[in-house]
Amino acid sequence: MTSTADSTSGPRVAVVIVAAGSGTRLGADVPKAFVTLAGQSLLERSLHAVRGMRHAADPVVVVPADRMDEARRLGFEIFGRLIDVLPGGGTRQRSVQEGLSLLDDGTEVILVHDAARALTPSALFDRVVEAVVEGGHGIVPGLPVSDTIKRVGGDGEVHETVDRSQLAAVQTPQGFPAAQLLAAYAAAETEETDDAGLVAAAGHAVTVIPGDAHAFKITTPWDLRRAEELLAGASLPRVGFGTDTHGFDASAELWVAGLYWPGEPGLAGHSDGDVVAHAIVDALLSAAGLGDIGTIFGTGDPRLAGAHGSVFLEETRRLVEEAGFRIGNVSVQLVGNRPRFSTRRREAEDTLASVLGAPVTVSATTTDGLGFTGRGEGLAAFATALVVPGR
């Protein structure tokens, strides 16, 4: 597997997405991971969740053999590159083992996620990664069991009431140090219902952290209806906030709000340093729940060296719309002593609006000589974005 994770900013993370189930209990005429939920398949939604992680992660997808081409297409559309896809085995455990076989030696943390938990937020993936790194052992998200649990016999007779304070309903993604999970699978002699069971059987600790109510498993038609109702209830507009800061660099050209400002010192940065464009990107990604600019546009990408703000804005618009949103409007405030922005405000707003396909307002202010912007050392920008569900 070829990794795209930036090892300088965190652990090398891989996510094995198990999507090879038949979905018999769901009653669909396609494999469960390819069942459509509000316009997107369960697999597609799971891939978006991985794409939205703050920690860069390499996905490996295990699907039915006759769905490999479709999974590759989805992966390319979401990640902008080919991802690893392979056919599943006869059981979930065998499918995960197939996925693990593609990981390279540099992988440090492995998450295993069921595509059927299609509404799992990206934030839960990140929390699992962080807990694995901090604890050095397996991490499983889970929720307290609220129902009274009875242990019953084959004839239906109640034998005892189980103490639910000691129970948790576990979810995915389940995360592990790579060496522990790989060793547990290599030594496995029995089938376990989840990866944590294998790791625990191998003698390693596994800890439960708080899960998320949205990470429930879609198994039956009732589960699918529940997911549809949740998405319908999430049809309200969403707001995101973003900020960016760059110091002046006299050797560079100044690009701000998508415009070139001749005769002004430029801004330092891997790209053109357009603080207004970058703040907008962060605000839009935040509103759509897709992560942040550092996650999506890494500074290690040579293709972005010197890239103008429009490149970032165009790609961000595409990601936001792919995630099922449209941009409502954006508001930005530029902070600094120069350039004199008011003379080109309307030009800047029109330029940004044409890229985003939505109204953009830009204001500018100074800080009365206070701080680095007041001393003329650089510029800052703060943006708020509104996105609305529905393409």
Give the residue ranges of the annotated binding site: 244-246, 270-271, 278, 292-294, 365-368, 372, 375
3-state helix/strand/coil string of the chain = CCCCCCCCCCCCEEEEEECCCCCHHHCCCCCHHHCEECCEEHHHHHHHHHHCCCCCEEEEEEECHHHHHHHHHHHHHHHCCCCEEEECCCCHHHHHHHHHCCCCCCCCEEEEEECCCCCCCHHHHHHHHHHHHHHCCEEEEEEECCCCEEEECCCCCEEEEECHHHCEEECCCEEEEHHHHHHHHHHCCCCCCCHHHHHHHCCCCEEEEECCHHHCCCCCHHHHHHHHHHHHHCCCCEEEEEEEEEEEECCCCCEECCEECCCCCEECCCCCCCHHHHHHHHHHHHHHCCCCHHHHCCCCCHHHCCCCHHHHHHHHHHHHHHCCEEEEEEEEEEECCCCCCHHHHHHHHHHHHHHHCCCEEEEEECCCCCHHHHCCCEEEEEEEEEEEECC
Task: Please state the residue numbers annotated as binding site for a divalent metal cation.
Answer: 244, 246, 278
